[in-house]
A and B are shown apart, each in its own frame.
Chain A
């Protein structure tokens, strides 16, 4: 006969310990939780909190802006405000807000993502882009190249990306906002090269030229994506692949991301190449109307976004490698870091984000079509 007593004593002690542990831990934690929620309770007269839902590369920028704005708000109103951050891929973040993440403000990579929140949930008024100056985009950026130190493949401009032995790293345009800017920048470069002036896109006359240019652009992008060995889902992942894993000869990247990568990951490994022409990337901001009205935070939320346009906000943006809209109050040595290049907008080259998204990135769009020929390859 088995004699279970000694082992069941052990198991009994163990389960007793487990239960006790669970009790202690959970009571301690709920205690912590409660104190937390009191501190951030929006109904409290003194303590205000905002949730800023943003995309990946803005972490450093908003860490700084939040610190400054809290001090600014305390000085002007006497109220404490704590700003909480959520970062992730731009599309994923927009999706989270649509599904109920209680963001007071959104600061995303593309106007398209904020449009989507307005369209799919009605949490943001459709005219959000007119609420703040410059299409509600307080800072801009562009797309540049990162290459290995010394530029061994001699990459100078977009045309060099399709040289036979070049491997290009970009994230997936389906999932990454930055990658969509990359793609559109390359497309716009070909249009400009073929047409000489993007204004011709609007003119009805040389319709054949335009069609031809669009075809050339499509061929260029097909060639370009043939040279992409890894498609990460987000901009940061792509930077890691290029720098840490040593894959690829050139990384297409946000300008601010590229500066940061050189700064954080080593000047001795990589360098920035600025192409002749690129796209004007306008990361957009908006107040989430329904949420701020419910939580009573509209005033502070609007002041927060407005602060981005103030001299201090613009300087902070420049400090973190975003191009300021209003350079007047920004120290010259910060401005000097931004190279001059020709920039075109999404509206000029593609007739707005909605159209660009539908034609190029939605399922069955151009990007799907150009990534398909891979089927026939071995």
Chain B
């Protein structure tokens, strides 16, 4: 096992790398975001609050958060299975499947959206079966979830895969020789050690889902109060020349995803410490 040995002064480049990181971060990310904050700061508080607390906007947060959460959960479960299967087993077509996992990254979101809508619409290849079973997929919150599962999948699989590959065989063998069943080994030994990676993947999929636009607008149906996602409302506000409204909704989403990411990073830190002690 590796020792958590951290010493200052032995490795070079602290000032250089941190300085570069901070300046690049400031120019590329923080400066533009400041422009957003400034825009909001100039607006009147009541107006901002009015924009973010409008029932239609609140309903869109509910959908965006709910569908992202559902999509990320589905991905956490099935993504783990996929990662496990791809690392541990051999079967025909494995390489191909492994490569395909990255597809959602490379497809322009608009193309994914159009394709998924074609497939999951009531007259589509897959949607047909669901429609016959009385479950419409496209143009419902379920459709939004489907699109978010698609966009989020690689995040979970690709974060969990290296963690599974890094597991040391001896630990599992030891668990088995101490009489643990395979399931117990998985639950008590394997899962805890890949949990940080799984959590990261989950968080990334969730965060990506919150802001996703291109792949969702086609399949969502965009009904006010029902299937309208928050990013679409931002676009709509912009087209009505309502910069303040757009700004306000954008700020809420930004704030929430920032807090969420902060919490997950903290959690990971904590679980790493926990695992080491």
Contacts and interface: CB of A to CB of B under 8 A. Distances in A.
Interface in A350-378: 361-363, 368, 371-372, 374-375
Interface in B228-269: 232, 235-236, 238-242, 245
**In which size bucket is the chain B interface?**
20 to 34
A370 B13 CA distance: 62
B19 interface: no
A244 B118 contact: yes
A245 B222 contact: no
Contacts of B245: 363
B202 to A, nearest CB: 30
Chain B contact residues, majority secondary structure: loop
B217 interface: yes
Interface string A225-264: 0001111110001000000111100000000000000000
A245 B123 contact: yes
Contact of A92 (B55, B122, B221, B239): B239
30 contacts: A89-B239, A91-B239, A92-B239, A116-B241, A120-B241, A174-B236, A175-B235, A175-B239, A228-B223, A229-B221, A229-B223, A231-B223, A231-B224, A233-B222, A233-B236, A237-B218, A244-B118, A245-B118, A245-B122, A245-B138, A246-B121, A247-B139, A362-B240, A363-B242, A363-B245, A371-B56, A372-B56, A372-B224, A374-B223, A374-B224
A374 B228 CA distance: 13
Interface string A109-149: 00000001000100000000000000000000000000000
A174 B122 contact: no
B170 to A, nearest CB: 20
B37 interface: no
Given A172-B236, A246-B121, A363-B54, A375 B139 contact: no
Nearest to B221: A230
B25 interface: no
Given A91-B240, A92-B239, A362-B240, A232 B222 contact: yes
A72 interface: no
A91 B238 CA distance: 8
A104 to B, nearest CB: 22
B31 interface: no
A174 B232 CA distance: 11
A233 B232 contact: yes
A54 B144 CA distance: 31
B224 A246 contact: no
B225 interface: yes
A95 B239 contact: yes
Contact of B238 (A95, A229, A246, A363): A95
B228 to A, nearest CB: 8
B104 to A, nearest CB: 22
Contacts of B240: 91, 174, 361-363
Nearest 7 pairs between A and B by C-beta? A91-B239, A245-B121, A230-B221, A246-B123, A231-B222, A371-B224, A374-B225
A372 B117 contact: no
Contact of A175 (B117, B138, B236): B236
Given A175-B236, A245-B123, A230 B222 contact: yes
B127 to A, nearest CB: 9
Nearest to B138: A245
A92 B240 CA distance: 9
A361 B108 CA distance: 32
Contacts of A91: 239-240
B224 A230 contact: no
Contacts of B138: 245
Nearest to B238: A95
Given A116-B241, A363-B54, A371-B225, A229 B139 contact: yes
A233 B223 contact: no
B179 to A, nearest CB: 36
B226 interface: yes
B56 to A, nearest CB: 7
Interface in A310-365: 361-363
Interface string A156-189: 0000000000000000101100000000000000
Contacts of B222: 172, 230-233
Given A172-B236, A247-B122, 18 more contacts: A120-B241, A174-B240, A228-B223, A229-B221, A229-B223, A244-B118, A245-B117, A246-B121, A246-B122, A247-B139, A361-B240, A363-B240, A363-B242, A371-B224, A371-B225, A374-B223, A375-B59, A375-B225
A306 B192 CA distance: 73
Contact of A174 (B123, B124, B225, B239): B239
B121 A374 contact: no
A89 B117 CA distance: 21
Contacts of A371: 56, 224-225
A114 B149 CA distance: 40
A241 to B, nearest CB: 8
Contacts of B218: 237
A244 B59 CA distance: 29
Nearest to A374: B225
A140 B232 CA distance: 30
Contacts of B118: 244-245
Interface string B47-65: 0000000111001000000
Contacts of B236: 172, 174-175, 233
B271 to A, nearest CB: 28
